[in-house]
A and B are shown apart, each in its own frame.
Chain A
């Protein structure tokens, strides 16, 4: 479990994290979302004891990270996959980190196999593609078989197959009962992976909610209706209590009645309907709504 409480981090005059509180629970994949510069990486660095918080706390299993002994057994993290010494081989890199936490060679071989790097383990990492470096970072994160895992944009640089692989890996890790926190600036990526979302903007919490509920709560749910007798239909729909707005191309956007009800109503009056499309806002839209507000709020407060 990761607990962040009223966390503030300032860099000079810039407030990167501004009173952030949230809890990441075991058993599901928690997406940590926000636009670039929202403070995701800074928050993760504070949790990992790399940056000192200006105020507030960040605890892992109720302990501060820098008090952990052999922390790789408790937390696995991948922040920046390119943070490697290019002259070292993949195996030497993983081995050195394993040794620092008393992890044996057999586990090193195991994580290299698990991440598909066995064949290239003897090669210097300067020749690795970004995708291979991501896999190497994951190998290091998995070394200590930790109950808590944190990944900062893990899918960056991976091809389609790699993204599917990491998605499956994250879900498997969470299904084991682990705490999995994954940051991303792409809602589409998280929509397919995360069960729970923590959305931040400008260092503040915007939403802390199950993924499904975020879509549910979105205000943009309507039915698109096309008909040669649109204005006539619009009158009938309004009479039934629906709210109807006209789109630019003459189609109707209807809220307050669902598609079957609209279809039945049109049939009752013998009105032809050419299209009847239920539209739910995508997670992306919900996300843009959220983060858009945060930007507006900021602009207004200046």
Chain B
């Protein structure tokens, strides 16, 4: 009897190898379109460039006005990068849905949550690195201006390194929010509008009569960011530690929603 041995099944590559492959794929996609370069360039260049002016306006305040937190100019400058990073996040999914490329992507990688995770990892790593570079660059520029008026603080002062590091996280938070909403809404314009809306519109709570403005405002992304990055946090808001949780809850919840929805809908 001549038994032909069945062909050996192709070796299943390890999870580590497969994860590396998917990350390589998403990295290539991320790095091979011009929008990535331009949005990141705007995000990285704008805040340090305007931070000196923001700091200068503070030094020109009349002496009678309340003292301004010396770390605030850095955050206000960084907020100018939020729009462009939000767009970068939304585009990661919305262009694939818009062009139909998502079907090729999901045919090559049928585990859609892995695709979402890989996109989040690539985008998260890049925006976190960019955010920290911007935060520290702006910090040194702002403090150079402020120290001329004896208002600056040094990086060695307790609380300062943590606040500056936390500031750098904001762009990553916004990018993750954009990525999730891009995956959920699947449309570039809609995704951008929703992301920017979620970041900016809650600011309207500030006009509520006290104490409701602060009581609700402390759950907003921007107020949480201000608490986390302040040298002298406000007393009518959450503690910086709790505010950091609020800040991280926004991308965490939006990514969770995207994770739940991405496998439930036809591509």
Chain A residues in the interface with B (C-beta under 8 A): 45, 48-52, 65-73, 75, 77, 79-80, 82-89, 92-93, 95-97, 99-102, 140
Q: Which residues of B are found within 8 Å of A96, using beta-carbon distances?
A: 25-26, 28-29, 32
Q: A-facing mask of B1-19, CB < 8 A → 1, else 0?
A: 0000000001011000110
B96 touches A71 (CB 8 A): no
Q: Are A100 and B101 in contact (CB under 8 A)?
A: no
- Interchain CA distance A70-B24 in the complex, whole Å: 14
Among A50, A68, A72, the one with the most B-chain Cβ atoms within 10 Å of its Cβ is A50
Do A85 and B99 contact each other (CB < 8 Å), given the known contacts A73-B10, A96-B32?
Answer: yes
Contact among B13, B26, B100, B109 for A83, CB-based, below 8 A: B100
Beta-carbon contact of B35 and A87 below 8 Å: yes
Q: Which residues of A contact B96 (CB under 8 A)?
A: 85
Q: Which residues of A contact B26 (CB under 8 A)?
A: 96
CA A87 to CA B22, docked complex, whole Å: 21
Q: Are B266 and A50 in contact (CB under 8 A)?
A: yes
User: Would you list 23 pairs from A and B whose C-beta atoms are within 8 A, ordered by A residue?
Assistant: A45-B267, A49-B106, A67-B110, A68-B110, A69-B12, A69-B13, A69-B18, A70-B13, A72-B107, A72-B108, A75-B107, A82-B100, A83-B99, A83-B104, A86-B99, A87-B32, A87-B35, A96-B26, A96-B32, A100-B22, A100-B108, A102-B13, A102-B18
* Cα separation A68 to B13 with both chains bound (whole Å): 12
Picked from B25, B32, B111, B267, the residue with its CB within 8 Å of the CB of A88 is B32
B33 in contact (CB, < 8 A): yes
Judging by beta carbons under 8 Å apart, are A71 and B99 in contact?
A: no
Q: Is B21 an interface residue (CB 8 A)?
A: yes
List residues of chain A with CB within 8 A of the CB of B35: 87
Residue of A at shortest CB range from B30?
A96
Evaluate contact between B108 and A71: CB separation under 8 angstroms: yes
Alpha-carbon distance A52/B28, docked complex (angstroms): 29
- Known: A73-B10, A100-B25. Is A84-B266 also a contact (CB below 8 A)? no
A-chain residues with CB within 8 Å of residue B108 when the two chains form the complex: 71-72, 97, 100-101
Question: Does B267 lie within 8 Å of A71, measured CB to CB?
Answer: no
Chain B: residues with Cβ within 8 Å of the partner, total of 32
By the criterion CB–CB under 8 Å, are B104 and A97 in contact? yes
Q: For residue B105, which residues in chain A have a CB less than 8 angstroms away from its CB?
A: 97, 100
Task: Determine if A71 and B100 form an interchain contact, defined as CB atoms under 8 angstroms apart.
Answer: no
Given contacts A71-B107, A83-B99, A102-B17, contact A50 B267 (CB under 8 A): yes
Q: Is B150 an interface residue (CB 8 A)?
A: no
Bound state CA distance, A70 and B110, in angstroms? 9
Chain B contacts for A67, CB-based, 8 A: 110
A96 to B31, CA, bound (A): 10
Which residues of A sit under 8 angstroms from B34, Cβ to Cβ?
87
Known: A99-B24, A101-B21. Contact between A80 and B107, CB under 8 A? no
Q: Are B24 and A85 in contact (CB under 8 A)?
A: no
B105 to chain A, nearest CB (A): 8
Q: Do residues B99 and A84 form an inter-chain contact, with CB atoms below 8 A?
A: yes
B100-125 interface code vs A (CB 8 A; 1 in, 0 out): 11011111111100000000000000
User: What's the minimum C-beta distance from A8 to chain B, rounded to whole angstroms?
Assistant: 14
8 Å CB contact of A99 from B28, B111, B266: B28
- Min distance, Cβ B36 to any Cβ of chain A, angstroms: 9
